[in-house]
Amino acid sequence: MGQSHTAFRFSAGRRVIGGVRRWITAAAGALALTAGLVTAGPPAAAAGLTQVTGFGTNPGNLSMYTYAPDGLPAGAPLVLALHGCTQNAQDYYAHSGWPELADAYGFALVFPQTSSANNANSCFNWFESGDSGRGQGEALSLRQMVDKALSLYGGDSRRVHITGLSAGGAMTANMLAAYPDVFAGGSIASGLPARCASSVSAAYTCMYSPPDRSPAQWGDLVRSAAPAGTASWPRVAIWQGTADTTVVPANAGELRDQWTNVWGLGQTPSRTESLGAGTSRSVYDDSSGRPAVEVYSVSGMAHGLAVDPGSGPGQCGSTGTYYLDTVCSSYHTARFWGLDGDEGTGALPAPTGLTVARTTDSAVFLSWQAVDGAASYVVHRDGTRVGTTASASYTDSGLATGTTYRYSVAAVDAAGAAGRVSSAVSATTTGFTPTCHTASNYDHTVAGRAYQSGGSTFAKGSNQAMGLWNTFTRRTLKQTAPDYYVVDDTGCPA
């Protein structure tokens, strides 16, 4: 499955690959070619990616590529990132934003890769039971990659995560179901519920008109795929564009039903938040108040992975085919998993009563209830650790005026392990940051910074005279408050 209704392009005949028989249909291939979707050419390991061989018996005939930041310490997390149809490991490495986050937060990456030898459209075979069940085919190859990467980088087996786009997302869901003992968390982007299909025809049905099963029925599919007696489940993020016509948005609802049921939760979110760029996040907390399932809905986004190119806070990734400029899903997923520096692996509970005591133009004053057994506390601003304190209060200074920030806190035990993260609170600093604008008098009026009267121009708010209303007279205005501008041609930079 993947980036178009031509998700399963096959060549005629019947093949045997890695001991797994696959039916391959020529008609779907013709449809793909008609749509202009040409299978990606043979990939090569590009700068930054390292191909790893000899990672096991590899019954799924996959390739393994890795990326690790320089100086990665032992005990770091590990993330598997699965590409979509017509893509490859290098494509996902270049656009998804995961390498930037690995550099920032310190974790290793594995980019598994399938090929046209397995599937003529280079899709992971999520709809083949022989490739998506525990101990079989591609699923086992992916499991073997985990073991190899943990050995190579000395990673923490408790902090292994998996994510994927489209067909990679569907395979991610199946891996979370088959290996809940391996993965601490997963993220399914434009994907489908675990075990939704076991044939090509059923795959198309799932993509366009997913079965309307009850939450318990969806949950049973996961429980039956997992080892008997499984009681601990991965935390799951679900990403979906509302304008996706390849994997229809109803799949996100079925995924939510499936994983909330697995967690023993209802389908009413604990809270819903806006992330901007038309993106909402619905959070389903577990019994301890920690997010277990999160559903991200991106308004107006078609089929693909949400990225947000740039170097600002929360930005990552780059645009490309099926990499769509909205918000950076990889950044928000990494924070959901705790890869930003606080996985919550310690035993201490989340601090309660986090409160914004007061704010100034450049500082926020926080306080919370002390946690028994806490040696210290870590404070996060907008998902990034900004400080530690031994007391149940913290002052965050050096902030921009008139700006909103979001804070959370975790208690740290004597061994240095951070516990669960508190619920977040928002704080807005006071004041207003002046801005300067140099333009013609005509352009100032068009932008709403000034107005014209009787052929002359006046600054909005201060009503200071600016000269004739034309495109030749240029002035600099400084905004000192909302809708208030003063003339400042000498001291305000252009």
pLDDT digits (tens, 9 = 90+) for 91-115: 999 999 999 999 988 999 999 999 9
Residue 364 has pLDDT above 90, yes or no: yes
pLDDT at 337: 93
Residue 334 has pLDDT above 60, yes or no: yes
pLDDT at 38: 27
pLDDT bracket for residue 262 (50, 70, 90): very high
pLDDT bracket for residue 4 (50, 70, 90): very low
Q: What is the mean pLDDT of residues 13-19?
A: 28
Q: Name which residue leads in pLDDT, 48 or 39.
A: 48
% of the chain with per-residue pLDDT over 90: 70
Q: What span, in angstroms and rounded, lies between the C-alpha atoms of 479 and 476?
A: 10
**Pairing assessment for the beta strands 364-367 and 355-359 based on DSSP bridges:** antiparallel
What stretches of 314-407 show up as alpha helix (H) in DSSP?
329-337
% of the chain with per-residue pLDDT over 70: 88
Q: Are 309 and 331 in contact (CB under 8 A)?
A: no
pLDDT at 493: 64
**Residue 166 catalytic?**
yes
Catalytic residue among 166, 187, 329, 423, which? 166
Beta bridge partners of 356: 366
Whole-structure pTM value: 0.67
Q: What DSSP string runs through 106-120?
A: T-EEEEEE--TTT-T
pLDDT bracket for residue 380 (50, 70, 90): confident
Does residue 316 sit in helix, strand or coil? strand
Q: What is the mean pLDDT of residues 190-197?
A: 98
Does residue 92 sit in helix, strand or coil? helix
Of 158, 4, 197, 140, whose CA–CA distance to 75 is shortest? 158
pLDDT at 343: 54
pLDDT at 452: 93
Residue 403 has pLDDT above 90, yes or no: no
Q: Are 447 and 475 in contact (CB under 8 A)?
A: no
pLDDT at 491: 72
Spell out a b/e string for 363-379, using b for 16 or more CB atoms within 10 Å of the CB, else e: ebbbbbeebeebeebbb
pLDDT at 41: 33
Q: What is the 3-state secondary structure (H, E, C) of 271-339?
A: EEEEEECCEEEEEEECCCCCEEEEEEEECCCCCCEEEECCCCCCCECCCECCEEECCCHHHHHHHHHCC
Q: In this predicted structure, which of 70-84, 212-226, 360-374, 405-419 has the lowest mean pLDDT?
A: 405-419
Residue 285 makes CB contacts below 8 A (sequence gap 6+) with 265, 270, 291, 292
Q: What span, in angstroms and rounded, lies between the C-alpha atoms of 73 and 150?
A: 12
Q: What is the mean pLDDT of residues 186-199?
A: 97
At 345, the amino acid letter reads T
Beta bridge partners of 395: 365
* Domains of the chain, each with CATH number or no CATH: 13-337 (3.40.50.1820), 355-428 (2.60.40.10), 435-487 (no CATH)
Residue 1 has pLDDT above 70, yes or no: no
Q: What is the mean pLDDT of residues 342-371?
A: 87
Average pLDDT score over the chain: 87
pLDDT bracket for residue 22 (50, 70, 90): very low
pLDDT at 344: 56
Beta bridge partners of 79: 109, 161
Q: Name which residue leads in pLDDT, 39 or 78.
A: 78
Q: In this predicted structure, which of 10-19, 59-68, 151-160, 260-269 has the lowest mean pLDDT?
A: 10-19
Residue with tokens 């690959």: 17
pLDDT at 346: 67
Residue 324 has pLDDT above 50, yes or no: yes
φ, ψ for residue 153 (rounded to 5)?
-110, 0
pLDDT at 115: 94
Between the CA atoms of 58, 62, 68 and 73, what dihedral angle is there, to the nearest 10 degrees? -20
